[in-house]
């Protein structure tokens, strides 16, 4: 519960509306940057905000979140909102499942509607091999107590009739696997909800504050240099997602991370057509996924653009791949107009799994490497990362995500388990 957040009755809201809405006040802007904090969190994306919220709420620490642009300006406000826990490897599926459980109650916990929509996440099989991979992954999930259902053609037809699975196609549909509790969560609401709840617990969220350096003394970090001056901190957490490589450069410590573009696009609104999230690997084009937004637009995306970049300008060829792959599976989508396309910068690790660990100094921490699937992990990552930063000990859930795995070779690469899953 976030006790300090006021609750308004319907009558009070109506009165305020009629009187010009005067009682709305900014929720996290206007905070003054102090000289010193227990913890400075760099980056007001989903992970930075969620960790700050838990640091203040669960550990009673004085926290600042320093953001070079605006709350929600990064990937937390650019992703396609898919949440699920249908991973093969135990290190991943327990962590992602913890997050999915937290999504189920997050609106209540934050006292803010994040619009969790458990419409199901359907992996489509376009070959017999896909079906076998899904059976293996689904069995691994069920052994861990996570819901997964393998669908043959009649079952698929019942679950998602709009797919017309028996229709003739260049690449026929063989079946699929659904995780019914998977679905979508409104991404902006997640950023705003965590920002508001963190502020209510005393966190200072400072926008337009670029962190440019780390000050150290006797091998310990003492604070950060920022565009607004020096800020003392007992502990520093970097949660800068697509800019993590630059943080490595700033610290003189190259990280096994490359920044790549991922784009997505949305069509004009149409009547309800897709009642779930559909994901598949379209032969020759790579991953494709499609879902329908609350406004009715078909939201589509695919794989990375394929080269490191900070530009946020997606390549036309990838857009073409995604559209071709979508129309091939959903012919009824042909002719619907794309109205918007955008991209974000993703911090890709070599094995596609995140890094939540210490960096060089005992009191400097990293939360990064979310690749193209870090939105869905925000609630679990925030809680666990806060425990690591506050106590110095990583909870079991995030122990596998150490930086040292790239030295020891204990990689967590889901792709070793088959062509799936897409990590969106």
User: Applying CB under 6 A, which residues contact ligand FAD?
Assistant: 42-48, 66-69, 73-76, 78-82, 210-211, 239-243, 262-264, 301, 344, 346, 370, 372-376, 424
Does an H or E element contain 222, and which?
strand 220-226
Minimum separation from the CB atom of position 408 to ligand FAD (A): 24
Minimum separation from the CB atom of position 24 to ligand FAD (A): 24
Minimum separation from the CB atom of position 167 to ligand FAD (A): 27
Cβ-closest position to ligand FAD: 45
Structure tokens at 133: 């991979």
Q: Are 114 and 271 in contact (CB under 8 A)?
A: no
The residue assigned the tokens 């949660």 is: 239
C-beta of 344 vs 400, nearer to ligand FAD:
344
C-beta of 8 vs 310, nearer to ligand FAD:
310
Minimum separation from the CB atom of position 325 to ligand FAD (A): 16
Does an H or E element contain 204, and which?
strand 204-206
Minimum separation from the CB atom of position 122 to ligand FAD (A): 14
C-beta of 175 vs 373, nearer to ligand FAD:
373
User: What is the C-alpha to C-alpha distance for residues 121 and 259, in angstroms, rounded to an integer?
Assistant: 27
Distances (CA, A) of 42 to 30, 297, 424: 18, 34, 24
Q: Are 398 and 388 in contact (CB under 8 A)?
A: yes
Nearest Cα to 302, choosing from 312, 292, 317?
Answer: 317
Q: At a CB cut-off of 8 Å and minimum separation 6, what does 202 contact?
A: 56, 62, 63
C-beta of 67 vs 98, nearer to ligand FAD:
67
C-beta of 242 vs 297, nearer to ligand FAD:
242
Phi-psi domain of 219 (left: phi exceeds 0; alpha: psi -120 through 50; beta: other): left
Instruction: Give me the residues paired with residue 184 across strands.
Output: 82, 117
C-beta of 43 vs 120, nearer to ligand FAD:
43
Instruction: Give me the residues paired with residue 233 across strands.
Output: 37
User: What is the C-alpha to C-alpha distance for residues 176 and 168, in angstroms, rounded to an integer?
Assistant: 17
C-beta of 205 vs 241, nearer to ligand FAD:
241
CA 96, distance to chain mean position in Å, is 11
C-beta of 174 vs 186, nearer to ligand FAD:
186
Minimum separation from the CB atom of position 231 to ligand FAD (A): 11
Minimum separation from the CB atom of position 189 to ligand FAD (A): 13
Helices (H) and strands (E) in the chain, counts: 10, 18
Cα dihedral across residues 265, 71, 185, 81: positive or negative: positive
Minimum separation from the CB atom of position 14 to ligand FAD (A): 35
Minimum separation from the CB atom of position 330 to ligand FAD (A): 18
Nearest Cα to 194, choosing from 332, 45, 308?
Answer: 45
According to DSSP H, which parts of 146-262 are helical? 153-159, 187-200, 244-250
Number of other CB atoms surrounding residue 172 within 10 Å = 13
According to DSSP H, which parts of 362-404 are helical? 378-391
C-beta of 282 vs 370, nearer to ligand FAD:
370
Minimum separation from the CB atom of position 257 to ligand FAD (A): 12
C-beta of 42 vs 56, nearer to ligand FAD:
42
């Amino acid at each position: 519960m976030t006790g300090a957040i006021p609750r308004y009755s319907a009558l009070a809201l109506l009165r305020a509306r009629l009187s010009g809405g005067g009682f709305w006040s900014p929720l996290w802007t206007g905070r003054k940057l102090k000289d010193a904090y227990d913890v400075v969190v760099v980056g007001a994306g989903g992970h930075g905000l969620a960790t700050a919220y838990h640091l203040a709420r669960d550990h009673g620490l004085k926290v600042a979140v320093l953001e070079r642009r605006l709350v929600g300006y990064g990937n937390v406000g650019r992703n396609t909102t898919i949440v699920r826990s249908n991973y093969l490897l135990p290190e991943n599926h327990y962590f992602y499942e913890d997050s999915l459980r937290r999504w189920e109650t997050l609106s209540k916990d934050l006292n803010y509607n994040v619009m969790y929509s458990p419409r199901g996440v359907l992996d489509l099989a376009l070959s017999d091999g896909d079906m076998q991979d899904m059976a293996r992954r689904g069995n691994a999930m069920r052994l861990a107590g996570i819901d997964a259902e393998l669908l043959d053609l009649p079952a698929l037809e019942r679950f998602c009739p709009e797919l017309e699975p028996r229709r003739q196609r260049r690449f026929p549909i063989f079946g699929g696997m659904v995780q019914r509790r998977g679905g979508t969560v409104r991404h902006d609401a997640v950023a705003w909800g965590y920002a508001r709840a963190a502020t209510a617990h005393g966190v200072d969220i400072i926008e337009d504050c670029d962190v440019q350096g780390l000050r150290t003394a006797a091998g310990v970090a003492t604070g950060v240099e920022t565009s607004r001056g020096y800020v003392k901190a007992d502990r520093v957490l970097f949660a800068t997602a697509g800019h993590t490589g630059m943080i490595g450069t700033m610290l003189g410590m190259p990280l096994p991370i490359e920044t790549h573009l991922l784009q997505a696009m949305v069509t004009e609104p149409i009547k309800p057509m897709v009642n779930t999230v559909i994901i598949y690997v379209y032969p020759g084009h790579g991953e494709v996924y499609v879902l329908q937004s609350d406004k009715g637009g078909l939201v589509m995306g695919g794989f990375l653009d394929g080269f490191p970049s900070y530009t946020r300008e997606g390549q036309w060829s990838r857009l073409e791949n995604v559209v071709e792959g979508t129309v091939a599976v959903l012919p009824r989508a042909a002719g619907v107009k794309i109205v918007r396309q955008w991209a974000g910068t993703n911090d890709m690790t070599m094995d596609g799994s995140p890094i939540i660990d210490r960096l060089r100094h005992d009191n400097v921490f990293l939360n990064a490497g979310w690749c193209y699937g870090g939105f869905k992990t925000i609630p679990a990552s925030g809680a666990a990362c806060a425990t690591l930063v506050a106590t110095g000990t990583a909870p079991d859930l995030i122990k596998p995500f150490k930086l040292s795995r790239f030295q020891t070779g204990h990689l967590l690469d889901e792709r070793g388990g088959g062509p799936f899953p897409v990590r969106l």
